[in-house]
Amino acid sequence: AQSVTQPDIHITVSEGASLELRCNYSYGATPYLFWYVQSPGQGLQLLLKYFSGDTLVQGIKGFEAEFKRSQSSFNLRKPSVHWSDAAEYFCAAVSGTYKYIFGTGTRLKVLA
Amino acid sequence: EAQVTQNPRYLITVTGKKLTVTCSQNMNHEYMSWYRQDPGLGLRQIYYSMNVEVTDKGDVPEGYKVSRKEKRNFPLILESPSPNQTSLYFCASSSMGQGKNIQYFGAGTRLSVL
């Protein structure tokens, strides 16, 4: 069955430190891949997307993600985290059937 | 302004009392979808629609109905709500076609079924 896995439920980093959030997918063919962020009490905002081509994708707010086909991964990174990045992050995928699958989310806490 | 509008934002109801959550988009998107978000489970797709009069089940369709009579509207119907449908619900829409599948989300509807 198709699936999206975010292995880390919670991650805590210090402000200014680097960040990597993991995402693994299981699909027959490479799906479209997305990262969304959800601040407390808010809806979902798209950070970045991967459809094809360059495997390093740049997004908003200084985030980037790298698609690795061999590892079925699409990890999100940020070189220097700001306190305002504290939120919940969701990885998502969609294939040709147009059924979207989301990971269970990673809640990021930023220490001052 | 491009947006997806859900109403109501908050709803408290009782078991068995039919309710409808509305969703409307002004971007002329073909694709619309409903999700529920529960702690520890992320977002799970309830139903989706790829065009007017075309709807398909997502991963958790039981207890829900949808309709797509107009392109801009995609209401979610709970004919007989139960407490296990207490959740945060999101509507989303997107264009379709290669490279266009970027979903825009509504602000969410928090439903409590007593």
pLDDT digits (tens, 9 = 90+) for A35-54: 999 998 888 999 999 998 88
Of the candidates A44, A51, A101, the beta carbon closest to that of B99 is on A51
Of the candidates B40, B48, B90, the beta carbon closest to that of A99 is on B48
- The whole-chain average pLDDT of chain A stands at 93
Contacts of B24 (CB under 8 A, 6+ apart): B4, B5, B72, B73, B74
Size of interface A-B (CB pairs under 8 A): 56
Name the phi and psi angles at B85, rounded to 5: -100, 5
How many CA atoms does the CB half-sphere of A69 hold within 13 Å?
10
Any A CB within 8 A of B39 CB: no
- Give the per-residue pLDDT at A43: 87
Contact check, Cβ <8 Å, B90/A44? yes
| pLDDT tier at A95, thresholds 50, 70, 90 | confident
- Chain B: closest CA distance from residue A110 (Å): 20
